[in-house]
């Protein structure tokens, strides 16, 4: 009986020992599984940490680059602000110069206006003086010099074989169109009498007889040229613009009434 009990006790101990071993094995396996899981989680965390660290490094690099760019842009802004300040200063200087030049221009324009007025006044005085002297000396000088000049001219022309003739209307127009006297500018030293004298001189070079037309107004005088054409009669020419004009005593010419006129051939 005791032996049977001892056997049963031994078997129970073996069973208990087996259960304990099983429990220990299961616990060990569980612990290993937990350790493996923790190790896997650690690896994942390590990888995530490496990714985060890499992203951190990238961000730090980008931040450094942005800081450099910001510094460069700040320098450019400062440079541009300096240039803007310089340009604003130059603008102010130029505006002041423009204002000064405008003032000078205005003053010069005023002076030009005064000088032009003086020139017009002097021209009127010259014309009036010429008209007065011409009127007083025309008759006497013409009478005294005409006979001698005409005789001498006839003798000279007879010797040279050079005779003046009246042109046809077409010849007169052709000469007017080809003559360059109108290209001269009217100046205080080159007036209507000079235009007419040069026009007549050029006509004579072509053997055309050209008349010097003296025109009197109320307080001034003028001079133009004329041709006694063989087919259309007398035509008057304004040598300053080559215009064939109509003129007569009592009519208006150049905005003034003609009080007297005469032709010197």
Question: How does DSSP classify residue 211?
Answer: E
Predicted confidence band of residue 57 (pLDDT cuts 50, 70, 90): confident
Calculate the CA dihedral of residues 144, 230, 254, 186 and round it to 10 degrees. Answer: -70
| Separation of alpha carbons 242 and 240, rounded Å | 6
Predicted confidence band of residue 1 (pLDDT cuts 50, 70, 90): low
Q: Assess whether pLDDT exceeds 60 at residue 204.
A: yes
DSSP string over 190-204:
B-HHHHHHHHHHHHH
Cα–Cα separations (whole angstroms), residue 40 to 6, 30, 197: 50, 15, 123
Predicted confidence band of residue 136 (pLDDT cuts 50, 70, 90): very low
| Separation of alpha carbons 213 and 253, rounded Å | 13
Q: In this structure, which topology does domain 164-265 adopt according to CATH?
A: Beta Polymerase; domain 2 (3.30.460)
pLDDT in tens, 71-112: 888 888 888 888 888 888 888 888 888 788 888 878 888 887
| Separation of alpha carbons 132 and 120, rounded Å | 18
Question: How does DSSP classify residue 180?
Answer: -
Query: CA angle, corner 181, sides to 175 and 183, nearest 5?
Result: 120
pLDDT at 187: 95
Lowest mean pLDDT among 24-33, 124-133, 170-179, 191-200: 124-133
More confident residue, 132 or 77: 77
Q: Where are the domains of the chain?
A: 164-265
Predicted confidence band of residue 244 (pLDDT cuts 50, 70, 90): very high
| Separation of alpha carbons 257 and 217, rounded Å | 6
Lowest mean pLDDT among 35-39, 114-118, 200-204: 114-118
pLDDT at 196: 96
């Amino acid at each position: 009986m005791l032996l049977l009990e001892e056997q049963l006790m031994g078997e129970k101990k073996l069973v208990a020992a087996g259960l304990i071993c099983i429990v220990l094995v299961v616990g060990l396996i569980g612990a290993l599984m937990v350790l493996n899981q923790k190790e896997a989680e650690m690896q994942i965390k390590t990888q995530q940490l490496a990714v985060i660290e890499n992203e951190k490094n990238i961000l730090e690099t980008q931040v450094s680059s942005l800081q450099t760019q910001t510094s460069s842009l700040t320098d450019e802004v400062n440079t541009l602000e300096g240039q803007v300040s310089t340009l604003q200063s130059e603008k102010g200087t130029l505006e002041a110069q423009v204002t000064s030049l405008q003032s000078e221009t205005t003053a010069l324009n005023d002076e030009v206006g005064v000088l032009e007025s003086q020139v017009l006044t002097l021209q009127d005085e010259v014309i009036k003086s010429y008209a007065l002297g011409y009127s007083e000396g025309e008759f006497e000088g013409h009478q005294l010099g005409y006979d001698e000049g005409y005789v001498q001219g006839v003798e000279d022309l007879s010797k040279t074989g050079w005779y003046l003739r009246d042109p046809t209307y077409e010849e007169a127009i052709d000469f007017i169109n080809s003559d360059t006297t109108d290209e001269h500018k009217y100046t205080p030293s080159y007036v209507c009498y000079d235009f007419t004298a040069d026009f007549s001189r050029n006509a004579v070079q072509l053997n055309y007889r050209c008349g010097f037309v003296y025109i009197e107004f109320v307080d001034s005088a003028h001079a133009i040229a004329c041709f006694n054409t063989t087919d259309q009669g007398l035509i008057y020419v304004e040598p300053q613009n080559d215009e064939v004009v109509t003129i007569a005593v009592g009519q208006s010419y150049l905005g003034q009434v003609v009080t007297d006129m005469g032709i010197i051939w």
